[in-house]
A and B are shown apart, each in its own frame.
Chain A
């Protein structure tokens, strides 16, 4: 089975940060955005909200840089997962990741990141805008092409007019 990925539709995100609450609840049993594995980065004045989360790279720089081999790939979901008892809190993964996929836990001081909730991501379940989808990696390219084409087709009125 092809792995699935979190696909964020930036255009749909409104910055409500429910994903952060759902995530911190699912992983930590508390409500605390700083313990969430997904974070909505906001430019509030400009009105821009972009959820940032681990992309589960195929060639993960975090894994390469981890000196204790604490990051491994989950066989079921394909997620990169931190084995906390091996993590020494050196934060090299934070340095290496180009997208900010990691944070340091405010109390346990270990690296925390998205683990795709064993295949049922809490952020996806709670997002009221459908801005985060959990989709098979091999289908995502075509799905995005279709979404882009739909916008074009609406501009060209191919879909909205003349078809019953």
Chain B
């Protein structure tokens, strides 16, 4: 019996170069201090991946981590994290996905897998309870993610096997290749699929039959039942039913356009006049054929979509999510939803992030319009805004690294560098990661979220939603010390640094448990008190019953991810935004005329975190107060610690 409840109790370490597999007990002190998921992976990466390691070298390590909630009754419980040094950004890489792969890994008996080295030939890791072995994957290399999953199930004679794999994009080291599990679920961002590809690791296949037990079973189950009740009959029941459960994330197309932050024309604008053609009701009416869910979820926001007519008829995939629809409609000025459906399908089977691939195409279209690239550069392709055919062609060229696609496969930061002529003006990225579907000009706090996100221009480390969607009740309840009107004012920078810091620590706990951010931010059901109670009842770690201690846990993990980047050379200059958000006023919509004033928000954020205003480095007390004294010592030796 493992020391703490909820955990499987073991982990797998694979040296791909030596073909060595070791199974060991999950270190109790590691889960005590970092819980699981991305938190635990942060500590492993800090301890084991030295700053001089190159992302696509055998020395880099890749971690697949579940959390204590995974596979249990607390909703939702189907997610896992993939963490590595990112080949897209060169710093902290982290991606998450739902589905059923993660619980299966827990039932097989493992909390996480850490892989290092590089296999001589393509392999896949096969796990069935105590049996853990590397198998030849030569026959799978080159196959798309769907076919790969089919073949692995077929050759093992077991349709219940859960597979996480890469497609051709990962094999071709497309810098934003992703990991796809359960056919359609993408651990999408920061190029985790390329890390797998660089290691000749095609897939992880898993079947498990073991038990999971909470530390305080009766109370935990009662608490979980209560969580279901809060989704089904509580104050948010109707909201969930009419938004996420009915439209999935695509409902955000309409609501984001309504507040003027639906990225349009490569993030030039935040308002898309043709929203009616690409809105959530249109998607539901024209494409939806089935309702789906991740494992153990009480929200159930997943859908199966199918193109019903035309030359791509019968194209079917799960999704598309809001981010994909945004990336392949408004942000490239395309109002034909079938293009987004097809792009979603292609990205899933090739194993490629829809956000970064769509953003790369938007970047190329703007460069083409501005004359920075011509038909000579693109080998005859005319990159006109909204051209669906060219867009879909580019998706495949990127995944295969063919022609001009080879350049876009590097991500927009590198592509802009190679194009030159000031192309970085149109490369809407921060710290190497292409911007996702937000715009700080019409939602100020997300400007800060992007600037300080450890993985680059991305919302999922600290997106604040009480201001975004105007949850005034929650604003009052959570931040009674601040003026609720200002907290909820999308266009006002005041207090947003405090909100973002709070949300960042909260999300760090989500990503360690692991629970989905739906139910935490949208709608805002779970908060600190819930996680404090959850961790205590599930794991039996009594100290976390104290809300302050759970907050300290969240802060510890948030700090550590940043310190990983600081050790790689990150400093204050990295906490910045693309000039499109800070210098170019929003052209239209509710955010018209707005730019992001980062400084006041950043000041608040630094104040909470204890970072030095000039350097962005931490003070010793900031790190020591969350139990990261050893991290402070290492940074001190590098001269990246300031005095208190």
Q: Which residues of A contact B (CB under 8 A)?
A: 12, 14-18, 21-22, 25, 28-35, 42, 44-45, 47-49, 106, 125-126, 128-129
Minimal beta-carbon separation of A133 from chain B (angstroms): 15
From known contacts A31-B213, A32-B211, A44-B183, infer whether A14 and B302 are also in contact, taking CB-CB under 8 Å: yes
CB < 8 Å: which of A16, A17, A21, A45 contacts B150? A45
Return chain B residues, CB-CB under 8 Å to A32.
107, 209-212
CB < 8 Å: which of A31, A48, A49, A125 contacts B72? A31
- Residues of B in contact, count (CB < 8 Å): 40
Minimal beta-carbon separation of A134 from chain B (angstroms): 17
CB closest chain-A residue, reference B300 = A14
User: Which of B287-295, B353-361, B408-416 touches A?
Assistant: B287-295
Contact B211 A16 (CB under 8 A): no
CB < 8 Å: which of A25, A42, A45, A49 contacts B221? A25
Tell me whether B547 is interfacial, beta carbon within 8 Å: no
A17 to B636, CA, bound (A): 49
From known contacts A25-B73, A47-B318, A126-B225, infer whether A30 and B212 are also in contact, taking CB-CB under 8 Å: yes
Would you list the 10 A-B pairs with minimal beta carbon distance, nearest first? A30-B211, A14-B293, A16-B293, A47-B304, A47-B290, A31-B212, A32-B211, A21-B73, A34-B209, A45-B183
Return chain B residues, CB-CB under 8 Å to A44.
100, 182-184
Contact B212 A18 (CB under 8 A): no
A30 to B295, CA, bound (A): 16
A160 to B51, CA, bound (A): 65
Contact B73 A22 (CB under 8 A): yes
Return chain A residues, CB-CB under 8 Å to B304.
47
8 contacts between A and B (CB under 8 A): A14-B292, A14-B300, A17-B295, A47-B289, A47-B290, A47-B292, A128-B75, A128-B298
From known contacts A21-B72, A29-B217, infer whether A126 and B212 are also in contact, taking CB-CB under 8 Å: no
CB closest chain-B residue, reference A22 = B73
0 or 1 for each of B192-224: is its CB under 8 Å from A? (1 = yes) = 000000000000000001111100010001000
Return chain B residues, CB-CB under 8 Å to A47.
289-290, 292, 304, 316, 318
From known contacts A31-B71, A106-B209, A128-B228, infer whether A17 and B318 are also in contact, taking CB-CB under 8 Å: no
Contact B107 A128 (CB under 8 A): no
Return chain A residues, CB-CB under 8 Å to B72.
21, 31
Contact A21 B316 (CB under 8 A): no
Contact A31 B300 (CB under 8 A): no
From known contacts A25-B221, A34-B107, A44-B182, infer whether A16 and B294 are also in contact, taking CB-CB under 8 Å: yes
Q: Which residues of B contact A (CB under 8 A)?
A: 71-73, 75, 77, 100, 103, 107, 146, 149-150, 182-184, 209-213, 217, 221, 225, 228, 231-232, 289-298, 300, 302, 304, 316, 318
Contact A126 B228 (CB under 8 A): yes
Minimal beta-carbon separation of B269 from chain A (angstroms): 35
Return chain B residues, CB-CB under 8 Å to A29.
213, 217
- Among B73, B184, B225, chain A packs the most CB atoms within 10 A around the CB of B73
Contact B292 A15 (CB under 8 A): yes
Return chain A residues, CB-CB under 8 Å to B149.
45
CB closest chain-A residue, reference B160 = A42
Return chain A residues, CB-CB under 8 Å to B150.
45
Minimal beta-carbon separation of B558 from chain A (angstroms): 29
Return chain A residues, CB-CB under 8 Å to B318.
47
Contact A31 B73 (CB under 8 A): yes
Return chain A residues, CB-CB under 8 Å to B77.
21
Contact B209 A45 (CB under 8 A): no
Return chain A residues, CB-CB under 8 Å to B184.
44
- Among B212, B291, B302, B304, chain A packs the most CB atoms within 10 A around the CB of B291
Contact B292 A31 (CB under 8 A): no
Return chain B residues, CB-CB under 8 Å to A16.
293-297, 300
A32 to B208, CA, bound (A): 9
Given contact pairs A14-B300, A35-B211, A128-B75, a sample of 8 additional A-B residue pairs in the complex whose CB atoms are under 8 Å apart: A16-B295, A25-B73, A31-B211, A32-B211, A42-B100, A47-B289, A47-B318, A128-B231
Return chain A residues, CB-CB under 8 Å to B225.
125-126
From known contacts A32-B209, A45-B146, A45-B183, infer whether A18 and B292 are also in contact, taking CB-CB under 8 Å: no
Return chain B residues, CB-CB under 8 Å to A21.
72-73, 77, 296
A127 to B232, CA, bound (A): 10
Return chain A residues, CB-CB under 8 Å to B290.
47-48
CB closest chain-A residue, reference B290 = A47
CB closest chain-A residue, reference B150 = A45
- Among A12, A15, A29, chain B packs the most CB atoms within 10 A around the CB of A15
Return chain B residues, CB-CB under 8 Å to A45.
146, 149-150, 183
Minimal beta-carbon separation of B563 from chain A (angstroms): 35
Minimal beta-carbon separation of A90 from chain B (angstroms): 21
Minimal beta-carbon separation of B68 from chain A (angstroms): 12
Return chain A residues, CB-CB under 8 Å to B228.
18, 126, 128
- Among A28, A29, A126, A128, chain B packs the most CB atoms within 10 A around the CB of A128
A44 to B161, CA, bound (A): 11
Contact B289 A18 (CB under 8 A): no
Return chain A residues, CB-CB under 8 Å to B221.
25
Contact B293 A15 (CB under 8 A): yes
Return chain B residues, CB-CB under 8 Å to A128.
75, 228, 231-232, 297-298, 300
Minimal beta-carbon separation of B410 from chain A (angstroms): 31
Return chain B residues, CB-CB under 8 Å to A126.
73, 225, 228
- Among B225, B296, B304, B318, chain A packs the most CB atoms within 10 A around the CB of B296
CB closest chain-A residue, reference B240 = A128
A19 to B600, CA, bound (A): 49
Minimal beta-carbon separation of B26 from chain A (angstroms): 17
A34 to B289, CA, bound (A): 29
Minimal beta-carbon separation of A31 from chain B (angstroms): 4
Return chain A residues, CB-CB under 8 Å to B213.
29-31
A101 to B380, CA, bound (A): 61
Contact A18 B75 (CB under 8 A): yes
Contact A14 B291 (CB under 8 A): yes
A129 to B292, CA, bound (A): 11
Return chain A residues, CB-CB under 8 Å to B209.
32, 34, 106
Minimal beta-carbon separation of A63 from chain B (angstroms): 28
Minimal beta-carbon separation of B326 from chain A (angstroms): 23
A31 to B210, CA, bound (A): 9
A31 to B70, CA, bound (A): 10
Return chain A residues, CB-CB under 8 Å to B294.
16
Minimal beta-carbon separation of A49 from chain B (angstroms): 8
Minimal beta-carbon separation of B430 from chain A (angstroms): 35
Return chain B residues, CB-CB under 8 Å to A34.
107, 209
A17 to B76, CA, bound (A): 11
Minimal beta-carbon separation of B531 from chain A (angstroms): 19
A42 to B231, CA, bound (A): 25
Minimal beta-carbon separation of A23 from chain B (angstroms): 11
Minimal beta-carbon separation of A52 from chain B (angstroms): 13
A22 to B75, CA, bound (A): 12
A47 to B210, CA, bound (A): 26
Return chain B residues, CB-CB under 8 Å to A48.
290
Minimal beta-carbon separation of A100 from chain B (angstroms): 13
